[in-house]
Structure 1
Amino acid sequence: MFDDEFDHDAAGLVARARAEATTASAGNRFLELLETGQVPQERLRRLAGEEYRIIGSDRRSFALLASRYPEAPAGDMFLTLALGEGQALVLLMDFAAALGMSEKDLSAYEPRPQAQTYPAYLAQRAAFGRAGEVALAMLANLEEWGAYCGRAAEALRVHYDMDEKAVAFFRFFAESPPGFAAQATEVIAAALEAGDDPHDLLRAARMLHAYETDFWDSLAIGI
C-alpha cells in the first residue's frame, strides 16, 4: 500500500489522507436540505444540542492530548485546539438562543448515539492514541468540515433569517485556525520520524472522516 516514497513523509501523507476523504465523501443531505429551507426548527435545535455535547467532549480531549504530549509542537497545537473549542462553546450559545434554547435546554438535550461517534472516537484517541494520528485526522478532514460550516452559515442566513451573531459558531469553524496546517504537519513529521506507522495515522484519518459523516447523516434522518 505504501509503495510511493511520498507516502512516508508528512506532506505526502496529508495529501493521501485528503484524497481518501474526498473519494469517500458522498454528499451531505442535511446541508442540501438546509440550503433549500427544508430543515425544520426541531432539527436545528437537535443540531445545537448535539454540538453542545461534541464541543464539550472535544475540548476535554484536546486538553488531555496536551497533557500527554506537552512538548512543542504537539502541546502547543492541542492547547490551541482546546482553547478554540472554548471559544466555539460561547458562540454556540448565540445559535441556541436564536432557536429559543437556553444552556439549561442544551444540557437537558438527549444526544443521539450516531451523532456522537465523532467525539467518542476522538476521546478514545486522546486517551490511547498518538499525537500524529490526531494531527493527521484533524488536518485531513479540516477542509471538508470548514466547507460544511460555511455552507451552514449561509443557509441559515438566507433561509432561516438568522443574523451574523446567530451563525458566528459556523463562521468560526469555516476558517481553519491560523498556522494550524503548518503546526499539524510538523506534528505528523515528528511522529513519522519517531517511528509511528503511517498506516496507523491514515486509519485514524479514515475513521474520523467516517464518524463526521455519521454526524451529518444522523441530522438528516426522517426529514
Structure 2
Amino acid sequence: MAVHSTAEAAELVERARADIAARPAANRFLDLLESREVPPERLGALAGEEYRIVGSDRRSFALLAARFPNPPAGDLFLSLAQGEARALRLLLDFASALGWGEHELTTYEPRPQAQSYPAYLAWNAVYGTSSAVALAMLANLAEWGAYCARAAAALRTGYDLSDEAVGFFRFFAEPPPGFGEQATALIAAGLGAGEDPREALRAARMLHAYETAFWDSLAEGLG
C-alpha cells in the first residue's frame, strides 16, 4: 500500500483514530485528581515523571529532525523539539508550586511503567519511520490534550494552584497551530516514499497503550 496524497494520508489518520477509539481506557488518576483524592506526594511523582519524559522526548524529536532533515519532516520534528524545551520551562513552574526544585526532580526515582512512553518514542527516533512517528503523535493528540486540560482544571480548582503553576498542562491542552496539516503532509510524504502504513498504524496503537500505562502507574495504590 502506498500513500501518494494528503487525502489518502488523512484516511490513514482516521483509521488510526478509530482503532484507538475502539480501545477505550479509563483514566483513574485524573478521576481521582478531579475528586481531590490525589495526595501531594503523588503530584510530586507526576512532576518527576514528566521531567524525565519531556527531557527524553526533546532529544527524541531532535534526533528525528537529524535523521529526516528535509521538509516536511525536519521542520515538524524540530518544532516539536522546541516545543518540548518550552514545556520543560513550564514544568519547572509546576514543580516549584509543589515545593520541588532541581534536586527533587533529578533524584526522583521514575516508575518503569510510566517511562514506557518516552522509551518507545526514543526507539522510534532511532529505528522508526517518519510517517510512523507523525501518525502516532497525531492520532493520539486529541486524547492527550483532553487529559492535560482536565489536569489543569483539576489542579486549579481542587488544589488551588495558580495559572502559572498549571501552564505546563495548558500548553499541551491545545495542539500546536498547523500541527494537524503538517503531520498529515509528513505522513503522505513518508508513505509515498515507501514507508509501511502497517508500521505507522502499529505505532499509533502502541503509543496509545504506553500513554495509558503512564496514567495507570500514577494511579497505582490510590483510592
TM-score above 0.5: yes
Aligned equivalents of 2:151, 2:172: Cα separation in 1: 11
Q: CA deviation at 1:191?
A: 1.3
Query: In the alignment, is residue 118 of structure 1 matched against residue 122 of structure 2?
Result: no
Report Cα offsets for 1:21-43 as digits up to 9, x if no partner: 12212210000000000000010
Contact 1:95/1:169, CA 8 A, preserved across alignment: yes
Match of 1:36 in 2: 35
1:54–1:116 CA contact under 8 A, matched in 2? yes
Paired amino acid for 1:61: S
SS of alignment partner, residue 115 of structure 1: coil
Q: Which one has the bigger helix percentage? A: 1
Spell out, residue by residue over 1:78-124, the C-alpha distance to the aligned partner (whole angstroms, 9 max, x if none): 00000000000000000001100001210010100000000000000
How many angstroms apart in 1 are the aligned matches of 2:13 and 2:35?
Answer: 34
**Structure 1 match to 2:144:** 145
CA RMSD of aligned residues (A): 1.2
Greater displacement, 156-165 / 16-25? 16-25
**Structure 2 Cα separation of the partners of residues 42 and 24 of structure 1:** 31
CA distance in 2, matches of 1:104, 1:135: 34
How much does 1:197 deviate?
1.6
After superposition, residues 12-161 of structure 1 pair within 5 angstroms as 12-161=11-160
Matched with 1:205 is 204
In structure 2, the partner of 1:177 is: 176
Alignment deviations for residues 49-71 of structure 1 (CA, whole Å, 9 cap, x no partner): 00000000000000000000000
Name the TM-score, length of structure 1 as normaliser. 0.96
Greater RCO, 1 or 2 (C-alpha within 8 Å, sep 6+): 2
Cα deviation for residue 195 of structure 1 reads 1.6
Unaligned runs of 5+ in 1: none
Amino acid of the residue matched to residue 119 of structure 1? P
Q: How many residue pairs are counted as aligned between the two chains?
A: 218
In 1, the alpha carbon distance for the partners of 2:91 and 2:136 equals 24
Shift of 1:196: 1.5
Q: CA deviation at 1:175?
A: 0.6
Task: Name the amino acid aligned to 1:159.
Answer: G
Percent same amino acid at aligned positions?
A: 67
Kept in 2, the 8 Å contact 1:9–1:192? The answer is no
Q: Write the distance in 1 (CA, Å) between the matches of 2:34 and 2:19.
A: 26
Amino acid in structure 1 at the alignment position of 2:63: L
TM-score, normalised to structure 2, is: 0.96
Q: Which runs of 4+ in 1 moved over 3 A?
A: none
